[in-house]
Amino acid sequence: MISVNNLTKKIGSVNALNGLSFSAQNGKITGLLGPNGAGKTTCLRTVFGLLKADSGNTEIDGIDVAKDPMQAKQQLGLFPDPCGLYERLTPREYVEFFAQLSGMDIDGAKEATTDVLSKLKMEDIADRRCQGFSQGQHMKTALAQAIVHKPTNIILDEPTRGLDVMSTRILRDLLQMLKEQGHCVLFSSHVMQEVAALCDHVVVMAKGKVVAEGSPESLCERTGKQTLEEAFIELIGSDEGIAA
């Protein structure tokens, strides 16, 4: 479970986060929805302890990230934007490396890596160096890295960018599977279809604040709109910056 309480964060002269509060429950997929520059990435980086909030706190499974970052990070898997691959390593080496960093021993890491690579149908590229990979192959490698150590909480920053239909489907199935296993999945996106199709809970963000939250259906209902896209525009009050 991830809970974000009243976060504020100023970057330069911009209030990137402005009293942000929400929580993501175990066994649910929570979507962080917002236009470009709403503060989604800043929020996720704060959850990871990479940025320090000016005020407010973030808890992962009840552990305050600012107070005990090591313990809190044990329970996290991150799929960052951008991916941050090591181009000279193969996906197998890459995933194994991060599995060990997350605390697995070498045999456990090897086994878990083989497991996750086959789950993502990556056997054909598993032992090729990442250099020259397509966008989709990049994304899959990064995703494998995020879930290899089976963390309770998985955070994905714009996970569907650049994926083809097949890969998007694999990702969707995977997130559903993680949800069924009881993981807490939090992802940010600005692609409405994705959020509508996947999320149990949607947090709509604009200008560093939560504008509305609830299930996709309840958001449509509240605004009296047919689709999530229209509901979203109604909620943030303008159609600025929605271009994906």
Residue numbers at the binding site for other proteins (CB under 8 A)? 11-12, 45, 48-52, 69-71, 73-74, 76, 78, 80, 82-89, 93, 97-98, 100-103, 129, 145
DSSP code of residue 9: E
What is the nearest approach in angstroms of other proteins to the Cβ of residue 11?
A: 6
Q: Nearer to other proteins by C-beta: 50 or 177? A: 50
What is the nearest approach in angstroms of other proteins to the Cβ of residue 122?
A: 18
Q: Nearer to other proteins by C-beta: 84 or 182? A: 84
How distant is the alpha carbon of residue 161 from its chain centre? 12
Neighbours of 123 (CB within 10 A): 12
Q: Nearer to other proteins by C-beta: 8 or 74? A: 74
What is the nearest approach in angstroms of other proteins to the Cβ of residue 82?
A: 4
Q: Nearer to other proteins by C-beta: 96 or 213? A: 96
Q: Nearer to other proteins by C-beta: 18 or 141? A: 141
123 phi, psi to nearest 5 deg: -55, -35
8 Å CB contact between 66 and 58? yes
What is the nearest approach in angstroms of other proteins to the Cβ of residue 101?
A: 4
What is the nearest approach in angstroms of other proteins to the Cβ of residue 8?
A: 15
Task: Please name which of 182, 223, 178, 174 lies closest in space to residue 202, comparing C-alpha atoms.
Answer: 223
Tokens of 217: 């259906």
CA dist 227 and 223 (Å) reads 10
C-alpha dihedral, 87 to 171 to 58 to 206, nearest 10°: 100
CA dist 48 and 65 (Å) reads 7
Beta strands in 34-124 (DSSP E): 55-60, 63-64, 76-79
Q: Nearer to other proteins by C-beta: 155 or 233? A: 155
CA dist 69 and 51 (Å) reads 12
Residue 175: exposed, middle, or buried by beta-carbon count in 10 A (0-12, 13-18, 19+)? buried
Q: Nearer to other proteins by C-beta: 148 or 175? A: 148
What is the nearest approach in angstroms of other proteins to the Cβ of residue 13?
A: 12
CA dist 181 and 51 (Å) reads 30
